[in-house]
Structure 1
Amino acid sequence: MQATAKSAPRRALTVAAALTGALACMLPLANSAAAHGSIVDPASRNYGCWERWGDDHLNENMAQEDPMCWQAWQDNPNAMWNWNGLYKNNVNGNHEAHVSSGNLCSGGDTQNGRYSSLDTPGAWKTTDITDNFTMNLYDQAQHGADYFKVYVSKNSYDPTSEPLGWEDLDLVKTTGSYAPAENTTFQVNTSGYDGRHVIFTIWKASHMDQNYYICSDVNFA
């Protein structure tokens, strides 16, 4: 199985690295040494917040226009600057043992709870998709993948009011391996879903036992 190359995300990590002055003093920005990756389409929660507000994250209008991102920025801005670092090492394939229900979107409160705001239920901005959609991993470090596991939240689950648990998910795809590439895309085919759902993706990188846990909010149109 081969990875498909695409152009880099619309505002790649170089944008964050270019921020200077007071902002640079406030926050440790992502850089090439710390760079990893995430699902950028449909956008992960923290990638979407960074893409929409990274250049204007102190804008109080966000509280009304994008309240879930607002609470995430307020909780820990580094969760957005480091949108590509939501991973947990040395899981040995036992994902459910290492990432507890209710903490899936933060990777089991990984990185000392940096990403805990991503577990907060609410009306996160969604990406419109159809039953058959494409996933796009942006991986600046080009780690490759041993596999992806893609889950869709059940029709009975309400992401606006409930933290996401393993019991809320349907496994819809497990891929094979992919060679290292900046962009890796693959198709997911589903049926029977409608309206707001969460796509939960596990990306097992190839370079070591490094596992990424990624929530993307979608609307099946």
Structure 2
Amino acid sequence: MTWHDHANDRVENRSKFPRWVVRLGLLAVTLLCLSPWTGTASAHGSVVDPASRNYGCWQRWGSDFQNPAMQQQDPMCWQAWQHNPNAMWNWNGLYRNGAAGNFQAVVPDGQLCSAGRTESGRYNSMDTVGAWKTKDVSSNFTLNLNDQARHGADYLLVYVSRQGVNPVTQPLRWSDMQLLTKTGRYAPGDTYKVNLSTSGLTGHHVVYTIWQASHMDQTFFFCSDVNFR
């Protein structure tokens, strides 16, 4: 082997090493982005029972999100994963800042479940009309909100869609929702429970929860699909 051959080998080796480093770095970034415990996913909270739409998708598919069976078995979650997987990895980052209590001004009709297309549209798929998976509930049930960050709550507003509104075929509007309760304050904790009572509701409805956090003017919005038996 000539001196020039050795030199060429050194140049080739030097050129390959950075490519390997870049590939490894890209792989690490990809895995980091797919991790369910990155970003806001450990920073805030969500309604966990009855599960909000994106929390429910994360529960059912977070460990199996590349399974093609999702498309047939859970098509609303499938479209959500296709649109933006981070809506599920960041299942507890669905919030807006600075609403000052004027929620209908910042969250337009048809965008209730995405909090007005918050977070640069990350959660837009939550507004998609269709047969979201439901949880069977009775006329009296308990809502559980998980507060990982222990923000506390100034109050919770809990609405339910009116009888005759079909969330499978109709985008949700504010006029479609009836207020069930406005709670008092919750001291910072892990779980906030709300006992709810309804009357005359049957079939698929959406429970809409607004959580006004106490640590700053930060408001969370959650759609949970239920089936009144």
TM-score (norm 2): 0.85
The aligned residue for residue 209 of structure 1 is 217
Give the letter aligned to residue 201 of structure 1: T
The aligned residue for residue 90 of structure 1 is 98
The aligned residue for residue 125 of structure 1 is 133
Give the letter aligned to residue 76 of structure 2: M
The answer to whether the aligner puts 1:113 opposite 2:121 as a matched pair is yes
Give distance in 2, aligned partners of 1:182 and 1:194.
Answer: 31
Structure 1 185/168 Cα, relative in aligned 2: closer, same or farther at 3 Å? same
Residue in structure 1 matching 2:173, options 165, 181, 187: 165
Q: Secondary structure at the match of 1:214?
A: strand
Deviations 1:47-92 (A, max 9, x none): 0000000000000000000000000000000000000000000000
Q: CA deviation at 1:162?
A: 1.1
Give distance in 2, aligned partners of 1:135 and 1:163.
Answer: 23
The aligned residue for residue 87 of structure 2 is 79
- Structure 1 unaligned spans of 5+: 1-19
| 8 Å contact from structure 1 (residues 152, 200) kept in 2 | yes
Structure 1 38/23 Cα, relative in aligned 2: closer, same or farther at 3 Å? same
Give distance in 2, aligned partners of 1:94 and 1:120.
Answer: 24
The answer to whether the aligner puts 1:220 opposite 2:228 as a matched pair is yes
The aligned residue for residue 27 of structure 1 is 34
Structure 1 120/178 Cα, relative in aligned 2: closer, same or farther at 3 Å? same
The answer to whether the aligner puts 1:62 opposite 2:66 as a matched pair is no
Q: Secondary structure at the match of 1:105?
A: helix
Give distance in 2, aligned partners of 1:186 and 1:156.
Answer: 25
Q: CA deviation at 1:26?
A: 4.3
Instruction: Between the two structures, name the one with larger relative contact order (CA 8 Å, sep ≥ 6).
Output: 1
Aligned length in residues: 202
Give distance in 2, aligned partners of 1:109 and 1:217.
Answer: 19
Give the letter aligned to residue 86 of structure 2: N
The answer to whether the aligner puts 1:152 opposite 2:154 as a matched pair is no
Structure 1 22/210 Cα, relative in aligned 2: closer, same or farther at 3 Å? closer
| 8 Å contact from structure 2 (residues 36, 62) kept in 1 | no
Q: CA deviation at 1:197?
A: 0.2
Give distance in 2, aligned partners of 1:31 and 1:184.
Answer: 24
Q: CA deviation at 1:22?
A: 8.1
Give the letter aligned to residue 209 of structure 1: D
Give distance in 1, aligned partners of 2:118 and 2:208.
Answer: 16
Give the letter aligned to residue 162 of structure 1: Q
Give distance in 1, aligned partners of 2:209 and 2:188.
Answer: 18
CA RMSD, Structure 1 to Structure 2 (Å): 1.6
Give the letter aligned to residue 178 of structure 1: Y
| 8 Å contact from structure 2 (residues 32, 38) kept in 1 | no
Give distance in 1, aligned partners of 2:185 and 2:227.
Answer: 28
Give distance in 2, aligned partners of 1:31 and 1:57.
Answer: 16
Give distance in 2, aligned partners of 1:117 and 1:195.
Answer: 23
Q: Which has the higher helix share?
A: 2
Structure 1 23/125 Cα, relative in aligned 2: closer, same or farther at 3 Å? farther
The aligned residue for residue 188 of structure 2 is 180
| 8 Å contact from structure 2 (residues 111, 172) kept in 1 | yes
Which is greater in Rg?
2
